Amino acid sequence: MADRYDPTPRTRIRRLPKRASYDHAAVHAVLDAGVLCHVGYVIDGQPYVTPTLYWRHGQRLYWHGSSASRMLRHLKDGVRVCVTVSHLDGLVLARSGFHSSVNYRSVMALGTARLVPEEDKAGVLEDFVERLLPGRWPELRPVTRQELKATTVLWMELQEVSAKIRTGMPIDDAEDYELPVWAGVVPLAAQIGAPQPDPRLDPGTPLPAYLQEVARRGLLQRCGGAAGQER
Amino acid sequence: MADRYDPTPRTRIRRLPKRASYDHAAVHAVLDAGVLCHVGYVIDGQPYVTPTLYWRHGQRLYWHGSSASRMLRHLKDGVRVCVTVSHLDGLVLARSGFHSSVNYRSVMALGTARLVPEEDKAGVLEDFVERLLPGRWPELRPVTRQELKATTVLWMELQEVSAKIRTGMPIDDAEDYELPVWAGVVPLAAQIGAPQPDPRLDPGTPLPAYLQEVARRGLLQRCGGAAGQER
């Protein structure tokens, strides 16, 4: 298997190409560091962008919910989508507005969304929960056939994909470095807070190991670890 | 002026309508709490979703960069877009997978992107910087005519807009509340770190007041404050 997605005219990054990457490792690292994606699709010529949870398994991206599901019920051949994942890592403050920027990691995946068939849904949803909070799925009240029916799960092949990443300090015009303007990076990151138990939870219920882990390491770091491994 | 966006067949929220809001106040609060949006547009039937910085001024949403700019150079009448802003506020862990969810605030705005004319660009960019970091624009090396020419700024009218918000604890099936499954909310939030000065910055350069403020209050709270006021 190639370790790189072939850039196409649609995914080749023309603006600031030095920020681009098509390597599986780089793309998967960005995907596995997140939980929320933005799915783009078209109805009657109008684009729509729906935020939703996603997860990756090998060369497949999965998400569930309503985003393209109404369309998909009528279109057996699938729906053209763009799934974008982005992490805003910092404000990059240069000595001029023009060279100011942001640090970020993003992935854009173009392709065709398809429905996960009924018989595969339970396994795919288990995979989702276990990647996020390993050990939680077996604790949950088991999913019913009716609930599975009511859940739309979509997937697309990772094939036409690019990553775009900016890191580091501002790059100013040579003559601007002498100006007395504060320059640098203001870091931004997704942070996890202390788990808040449901008031209706029996106070004797212990905090599960996977939530202790999350509280210690942060959710997204967790995702970027084990969930990033191919299985 | 009405204080509410009229829902249309395209923005009326059909799935979980109790989470919907069309009030200006609710929509603007979600918009003003963020800096990164996802812009959806269509080329040759293929949807694209580009992450980019945005800001709001009254009933206009602005963003800059390349997202729809290639198209716009050829289409004087504007480009159909969907701009989506979303904040992931927490994982909602129910006793079943089916009732598990996330807390979030999101806005979807449908409309037509247009170019900000050359003569208005400087003022619009000043507005952007001042909303994010009040006091920074006058400190910056002034923008040049050439830099303005190289910068594409887009805007759309806020007209066909909806917000969708979930807050609070999981809602489980009545019989599931007795199960010994940990349930509650794992909060997520965007956090700001300590400003990192450019190594090439004169060490005597003081940290500007707007960055001290950001370090104390957090960037996004700042946005939700002054930037949220109509002007």
Whether residue A225 lies within 8 A of chain B, CB to CB, comes out as no
Whether residue A117 lies within 8 A of chain B, CB to CB, comes out as no
| CA atoms within a 13 Å half-sphere pointing along the CA-CB vector of B47 | 31
Q: Does position A230 have pLDDT exceeding 90, yes or no?
A: no
What per-residue confidence (pLDDT) applies to A231?
A: 31
Q: Which of A15, A182, A206 sits opposite B211 (nearest CB)?
A: A182
Whether residue B46 lies within 8 A of chain A, CB to CB, comes out as yes
Highest mean pLDDT among A208-222, B55-69, B84-98 belongs to B84-98
Of A33-37, A217-221, B164-168, B198-202, the poorest mean pLDDT is in A217-221
Instruction: Test A187 with B169 for CB contact under 8 angstroms.
Output: no
Instruction: Test B110 with A80 for CB contact under 8 angstroms.
Output: no
Q: Does position A154 have pLDDT exceeding 50, yes or no?
A: yes
Instruction: Test B93 with A136 for CB contact under 8 angstroms.
Output: yes
Rounded to two decimals, the ipTM of the complex is 0.91
CB-CB neighbors (< 8 A) of A38 in chain B: 38, 40, 49, 51, 84, 86
Beta-carbon contacts of B195 under 8 Å, excluding residues fewer than 6 positions away, are A182, A184, A185, A186, B207, B211, B214, B215
Instruction: Test B49 with A50 for CB contact under 8 angstroms.
Output: no
What per-residue confidence (pLDDT) applies to A66?
A: 58
Beta-carbon contacts of A231 under 8 Å, excluding residues fewer than 6 positions away, are A57, A58
CB-CB neighbors (< 8 A) of B214 in chain A: 186
What per-residue confidence (pLDDT) applies to A225?
A: 36
Q: Which long-range contacts (CB under 8 A, 24 or more apart) does A173-179 make?
A: A173/A95, A173/A96, A173/A99, A176/A94, A176/A95, A176/A96, A176/A99, A176/B141, A177/A95, A177/B200, A179/A95, A179/B141
Share of chain B above pLDDT 90, in %: 75
Confirm if B76 and B52 have CB atoms less than 8 A apart: no
Unique residue bearing structure tokens 């949220």 = B228
**Helical ranges in chain B per DSSP H:** 24-32, 69-72, 121-132, 145-149, 209-217, 219-224
CA B186, CA B167: separation in Å to the nearest integer? 12
End-to-end CA distance of chain B: 14
Confirm if B224 and B29 have CB atoms less than 8 A apart: yes
pLDDT confidence bin for B225, thresholds 50/70/90: very low
Higher pLDDT, A106 or B68: A106
- pLDDT tens-digit map of A158-195: 999 999 999 999 999 999 999 999 999 999 998 899 99
CA A224, CA A95: separation in Å to the nearest integer? 34
Confirm if A85 and A28 have CB atoms less than 8 A apart: no
* Nearest CA distance, B2 vs chain A (angstrom): 25
CA A93, CA A99: separation in Å to the nearest integer? 8
Beta-carbon contacts of B168 under 8 Å, excluding residues fewer than 6 positions away, are B103, B185
